[in-house]
Amino acid sequence: MLSNKYILAVVRIFLGSVFIVASIDKISAPDAFAASIVAYKLVPYAAVNILALVIPWLELVCGIFLIGGVYVRGSSFALSVLLTVFIVAIITALLRELKIDCGCFGKEHATPVSWMKVGEDLGLLLLSMYNLIFGPKPGHEKGETHAEETPNSVAF
């Protein structure tokens, strides 16, 4: 049941879309995202820009791969790591009582850090882990993608 390929496809397309949406704003305004990272006071100042540049592209690339069904495990793993980092960052920000913008979806959709955000990210992490564990094994990926591309032929 859990390894049902339709459920897997729905999950990874959902996850992929979320990350693509999250990345666009950050890619278009790297300075604002960098400022969000600075506000967390977790990263050495010199490293902020590199992260602000690479993280959104990682989100975009993984999102596209997930939707396309390519490199699903690699992308899921990368996103799981990212989400874990985000969750830890938000929790520490909350514990340090920092009143900052989450930076999650870029500056156009600014929302303050909250336990709600932690919950959202935990949900996404769960979906990502699910994909990582039950997703197509690297060797079988091609067959899987093929089956999903023509669902009708399988259904009939």
Partner 1 sequence: MNTSTSRQILIVVAISILLALMYNTFSPKGLPLIRTEPAKTAISDSALFNSLPPESLSALASKTDSAQWKDIKVIAPLHEKALHNPDSMKEVVRTNKEEQPFSVITLDQLQRLLKAHRGILFDARSEEDYVKGHIKGARNVPGEDPGKHFPQFVELPRDTLIIVYCNNPECHLGRSVIEFLATMEFKKMVLYDDGWDGWEKAHLPVDTTIVKF
Nearest C-alpha neighbor of 109 from the set 54, 29, 1: 29
Residue 98 · residue 113 · CB < 8 Å = yes
Measured from the CB atom, is 32 or 129 closer to partner 1? 32
Q: How far is CA 100 from CA 17, 57, 88, in A?
A: 25, 23, 15
DSSP H helix total and E strand total for the chain: 7, 0
Site string for partner 1, 125-154 (x = CB under 8 A): -------------xx---------------
Residue 74 interacts with partner 1 (CB under 8 A): yes or no: yes
Site string for partner 1, 106-125 (x = CB under 8 A): -x--x---------------
Q: Is 12 exposed, middle or buried (0-12, 13-18, 19+ CB in 10 A)?
A: buried
Site string for partner 1, 28-57 (x = CB under 8 A): xxxxx-xx--xx-x---xxxxxx-xxx-xx
Q: Which positions touch partner 1 (CB under 8 A)?
A: 27-32, 34-35, 38-39, 41, 45-50, 52-54, 56-58, 60-62, 65, 71, 73-75, 77-78, 99-100, 107, 110, 138-139
